[in-house]
Amino acid sequence: MDKGKFLVFGAIASLGLAACGGGGGNGGGGTATAKPDKVQIAAEGPFTGDEASIGAGALQAIKLAVKDFNNKGGVHGTPVTLVPWDDQHSAQTAQTLQAQGISDPTVLGIVGPMNSGVVLGSIQGLQAASPPLPFVSESASNVKVTDSGNSVAHRVNARDDAQGPADGKFLIDQGAKKVEVMDARSDYSTALADATQKYLSDHNIPFQRDAAKAGQTDFSTIIQKVKSFGADWVYFADEGPETAPFVTQLKQAGLTIGQNINFLGTDGEEDPSIISKSQGAYDGAYATNITADPAGVSSAASYVTEFKNEYGADSISKAGPFYGSAYEATQVLLQAINNSPVKNGKISRNDVISHLASDTFSTIFGSVKFDAKGDVQGGGIYVYQAKGSDMVVVKQVSG
């Protein structure tokens, strides 16, 4: 799959790519001779199971970021060890995995968790640890992730309260008259659907609200309601697994995307595999994402090439929507660790948290700095459309 023809957005491209402040060297608070005994970070997400389509590519990106960092010298000469935590989109599983890291002071941070529900179900344990265990998420968008005053929380992606209004505005700009608003009964999907619904309501656009269950395959009842309502758009805030059977059944019921119905999905639905899984029924559908695709950003061109070289020429088409933000989040966490002082062969998580809060980081998408809550400053929302066998970026709607 060649995404090289993606539009390059000035707001992102103009940031440029500074040299990664990661491997080797003094690193801010350290000294030229200080060397930590051991440095570990965790990668957490749904790496197997029904959401592996968003997690597996992110894990590949994290592994590559750690490899690149270690090739530049690691943390003052100490290579970073990556520990994968497959939470399978379960907060309970996450708590068990995180407990292992909390008890090991050489685990200095987490890239992830990816899912908002997992973050919200486990963040108190990370915050209450002594010292707290920080994380940098590449995709958790629920506003509560960073609005609860936890110093451990950081994310490089935009929030639901940015994406929801942006999605609602896009629907209105596209001429939506009646919108079927759907969620998948998760913390992520419900909050995002609520935000979009509010924007539609505030702008007097009629809507109907429904919900799908995780793993649902029969959508006949919802589709009949869509028909009876006379919706010209379906907005489905979902993480991906339910979309292919839903749009397939839409078409079987006589509602063809781009003809007599239109479709806007969200992050997990910016996935080209949905096109093939639905036998083309997804063609013409739109989906928004809370982070840019590296293939559309000039400063990330070398990373895209490296990813293909590492994982295969077709790897981008399988990487999912967060292979860029996962690499970016890893760069940020590793630089914060590298900028922290080394004392008696150890780095404190408290110092890592301090540097996450104060430093500016160089990434494939340009400079990253967090605000007081841990949200990235200037995050964007991007609209993609299913065309042929690819998801092609067509517009930046905020950021």
Flag whether 309 is in a domain: yes
Q: How far is CA 276 from CA 104, 231, 273, in A?
A: 43, 25, 5
Is 226 within a domain?
yes
Task: Please check whether residue 193 lies inside any domain of the structure.
Answer: yes
Together in a domain, 91 and 23:
yes
Q: Which pLDDT score, from 0 to 100, does residue 325 have?
A: 97
Is 210 found in the same domain as 140?
Answer: no
175-204 per-position pLDDT tens digit:
999 999 999 998 889 999 999 999 999 999
Do 150 and 228 belong together in one domain?
no
- Contact assessment for residue 398 and residue 160, using Cβ atoms and an 8 Å cutoff: no
Within this chain, do residues 256 and 386 fall inside the same structural domain, yes or no?
yes
Claim to verify: residue 279 and residue 192 sit in the same structural domain: yes
Contact 342, 36 (CB under 8 A): yes
User: pLDDT category, 227, cuts 50, 70, 90?
Assistant: very high
CATH label of the domain that carries residue 256: 3.40.50.2300
Domain assignment present for residue 376? The answer is: no
Quote the number of domains for the chain.
2
For residues 189 and 331, membership in a common domain is answered with: no
| Residue 271 in domain | yes
Q: Is 312 left (phi over 0), alpha (psi -120 to 50) or beta?
A: left
Domain enclosing residue 233, as ranges:
160-289+382-398
Residue 315 tokens read as 């790897």
Instruction: Please check whether residues 303 and 252 belong to one and the same domain.
Output: no
pLDDT interval class at 399 (50, 70, 90) = low
Do 178 and 230 belong together in one domain? yes
Residue 4 lies in a domain: no
Does position 225 have pLDDT exceeding 60, yes or no? yes
Residues 114 and 210 in one domain: no
Domain shared by 221 and 272, yes or no: yes
∠ CA(170), CA(171), CA(176), 5° rounding?
A: 145
Q: Cα separation of 342 and 102, whole Å?
A: 19
The answer on 74 and 41 residing in a single domain is yes
Beta carbons of 265 and 285 less than 8 angstroms apart: yes
Residues 197 and 76 in one domain: no
pLDDT in tens, 333-382: 999 999 999 999 999 999 999 999 999 999 999 999 999 999 998 778 99
Is residue 374, in this structure, part of any structural domain at all? no
Task: Please list, in sequence order, all residues whose beta carbon lies within 8 angstroms of the beta carbon of residue 356, skipping any fewer than 6 positions away.
Answer: 134, 136, 154, 332, 333, 336, 370, 374
